[in-house]
Amino acid sequence: MCGIVGYWGPNAESGLVERMAARIAHRGPDGSGSWIDPAAGIAVGHRRLAILDLSSAGAQPMTSPCGDYVVAFNGEIYNHLDIRCEMEQGGQAPRWRGHSDTETLAAALGLWGVRGALERTNGMFALAIWRRSTRTLTLARDRMGEKPLYYGRCGSTLFFGSELKAFGAHPDWHPEIDRDSVASFLQYNYVPAPRSIYRGVFKLSPAHLVEISDPLAPLPTSVAYWDIASVARAGLAIRHEHPADIEHRLHDLLRSSVRIRMAADVPLGAFLSGGIDSTLIAALMQAQSGSPVRTFTVGFAETAYNEAEHARAVASHLGTDHTELTVTPEDALALVPQLPAIWDEPFADSSQIPTFLLSKLTREHVTVSLSGDGGDELFGGYTRYVDGLRTWRLLSRLPLPARRILAEAMSRFPGPISAVAESVLPARLKVTHLADRLPKLAQVMRVASERDYYRSLVSHWREPESVVIGTRRQMGGSSAELGGPGATMVDRMMLTDMQTYLPDDILVKVDRASMAVSLEARVPFLDHRVVEEAWKLPPEWKLRDNTGKRVLRSLLDRYVPRELVERPKMGFGVPIEHWLGGPLRDWAEDLLSEERLRREGFLDPAPIRALWNEHKQGRRRWHYLLWDVLMFEAWLDSHA
């Protein structure tokens, strides 16, 4: 795992690009390197976290054996030995200097070109490739978006790299905040790709590459070398296959995915929450290891947020070497001021806090950790798939005009309606904090289509245009349609999440938290072979009887008693609601002051102050919306 950075413009200097790379030294503390072509004006920098081949033979940037390609690489190619075998069997292998995956990639570029090399890879990566003969820069990203890659222009200089903070060391870096991106951030609690928080600076989309031949010309459109929507459609077309055969193949693929992600020349372990996904990954690791696997979990004093006892029980059954840390509120609160610097862009998924603390604990013992992320999106694990489907079926029975009349009443009178429901409904039908939930349901009831319904369901600020000053943005999305007779609503929800929430929230969270402490996190569920196989599963093998991940539960029965993992989904959260009413109240009051908001000129103070006052008074629970604003304000404060 590493960090890459570079620029193409006037005055390519090794000293300058090395200072840029130093800004992301946390991504690669084991070494640094640079490569420049003064005549072309390009400079590439690299920070190395040595995982495979710890010798200087794995140092970067690296030139291909043919001398035409220079590559800076962030990530891992897990099947690089298979690629070497293909070269050797064809009599096309160079004389290898070491055993790093970067050397394999450099040779593959010279032999098959960029696209041919990428299509052979199984891994996570962000690449910057300079072709000397054509003076062409190619940027590429892994299929599911595990590793980040930004690119864009300021003035006469083209920038590219793993994190935005690296660009700040260059004298030409004078970015402008994109107000449309601020609006998108408030809606989703992250800035969706391909935009970044800065105008004219982009995130390369997963499974895409972009080829740039002129740093001053308009940026070309990126192209896909793999497409998750096409994978989904192909899988749906063959769902008639026998489910048991698919389960058997899925088990074999998951074993293989875990096995190749256990390859490392440094200590390795796994995150373990005790839930289905992380338990299955840990079980597959232990089944293929000759010694106890290192597993790690963090627990919290607040019972509602604590999964440590479940992880401990699973670790005991599997026989792993388990390490557990109980996090105090003081530990978590001390991290809050550091969040903007770690995440680099506005980011408001509060589970970033325990994810960072878990990564920090893990890095004290190992350099690589496997994670169970991706299981929910692939196998129907989120409760919103169940609840969302049920709610939409009920709502769609009502004509849209009638739904909108009811929605208006819910928005205007949530308190009285909640009070009436509390007094007349039986206990089994009562909903906690109903007054807070009614406005959200009202927003959902107003939409006309299934697609807009789901987008509304996963939104925070549903009309951010009313809060962000000067935005032109309208609610929309870039997710592909998934039609055909075999496609269900849950399929479409999962595909949307794989295209948006997974790469832009979950994987950003894991990458920044782990890389901030120089830990490499690997995600076996996102092996593209597993993803392709998962889409072949009949829907009832994912979601049945209001329970998700049916096939994973079946696989896990081979390793762990069902009672150890069967419990309501908890998530990985922190008590933001209580913190804003207590230890973070003064911090929040300062960031949300009317004078401050007016002075900055990005957000309209009126609706924000209204929510904050209601929250402080205990009349309503607005902590999720307020946390979005607070994370933007904290980011703005640290990046001004």
Which residues fall within 8 angstroms of residue 494, CB to CB, at 6 or more apart? 377, 378, 380, 385, 542
Nearest to 523 by CA among 258, 205, 206: 258
DSSP secondary structure string for all residues of 424-491: HS-GGG--TTHHHHHHHHHHHHT--SHHHHHHHHT-SSS-GGGTBTT----S---PPP--STT--HHH
Does 101 appear as a known binding residue? yes
Distance CA 51, CA 264 (A): 6
Does 420 appear as a known binding residue? no
Q: What is the pLDDT of residue 425?
A: 61
Q: What is the pLDDT of residue 474?
A: 58
Which residues fall within 8 angstroms of residue 140, CB to CB, at 6 or more apart? 114, 118, 125, 126, 127, 129, 149, 204, 208, 209, 210, 225
178, 204: one domain: yes
590, 474: one domain: no
Point out the domain boundary residue: 518, 544, 572. Answer: 572
> Using one digit for the tens of pLDDT, what is the confidence trace for 183-218?
999 999 999 999 999 999 999 999 999 999 999 999
pLDDT band per the 50, 70, 90 thresholds, residue 443: confident
268, 304: one domain: yes
- Identify the residue whose tokens are 């349901």: 441
Residues 382-407: what's their mean pLDDT?
Answer: 86
Selected catalytic residue, list 2, 66, 85, 154? 2
In total, how many domains does the chain have? Answer: 3
Distance CA 140, CA 144 (A): 12
615 close to 626: Cβ distance less than 8 angstroms: yes
371, 317: one domain: yes
Q: Is the pLDDT of residue 502 over 50?
A: yes
> Using one digit for the tens of pLDDT, what is the confidence trace for 254-282?
999 999 999 999 999 999 999 999 999 99
Distance CA 615, CA 627 (A): 12
Q: Where residue 523 sits, what CATH number does that domain have?
A: 3.40.50.620
Does 372 appear as a known binding residue? yes
152, 241: one domain: no
* Cis preceding-peptide flag for 607 (omega within 30 of 0): no
584, 552: one domain: no
431 against 168, higher pLDDT? 168
pLDDT band per the 50, 70, 90 thresholds, residue 609: very high
Point out the domain boundary residue: 201, 226, 251. Answer: 226
446, 543: one domain: yes
- Out of 131-140, 179-188, 431-440, which region has the weakest mean confidence (pLDDT)? 431-440
Q: Is the pLDDT of residue 442 over 50?
A: yes
443 against 265, higher pLDDT? 265
Residues 312-326: what's their mean pLDDT?
Answer: 96
pLDDT band per the 50, 70, 90 thresholds, residue 480: low
pLDDT band per the 50, 70, 90 thresholds, residue 478: very low
Residues 384-401: what's their mean pLDDT?
Answer: 86
541, 436: one domain: yes
- Identify the residue whose tokens are 């060391």: 169
Q: Note down the domain range covering 610.
A: 576-639
Retrieve residue 354's tokens.
């325990």
313, 414: one domain: yes
368, 397: one domain: yes
* Cis preceding-peptide flag for 605 (omega within 30 of 0): no
Q: Where residue 125 sits, what CATH number does that domain have?
A: 3.60.20.10
Q: What is the pLDDT of residue 431?
A: 62
260, 149: one domain: no
Residues 483-495: what's their mean pLDDT?
Answer: 85
Point out the domain boundary residue: 524, 549, 572. Answer: 572
Q: What is the pLDDT of residue 455?
A: 86
Does 172 appear as a known binding residue? no
What predicted TM-score, i.e. pTM, was given to this entire model? 0.93
487, 613: one domain: no
Nearest to 190 by CA among 637, 633, 631, 634: 631
Residues 521-538: what's their mean pLDDT?
Answer: 96
**Known active-site residue 2:** yes
Q: Is the torsion defined by CA of 561, 563, 566, 572 positive or negative?
A: negative
Q: What percent of the chain has pLDDT over 70?
A: 92
Distance CA 144, CA 526 (A): 7
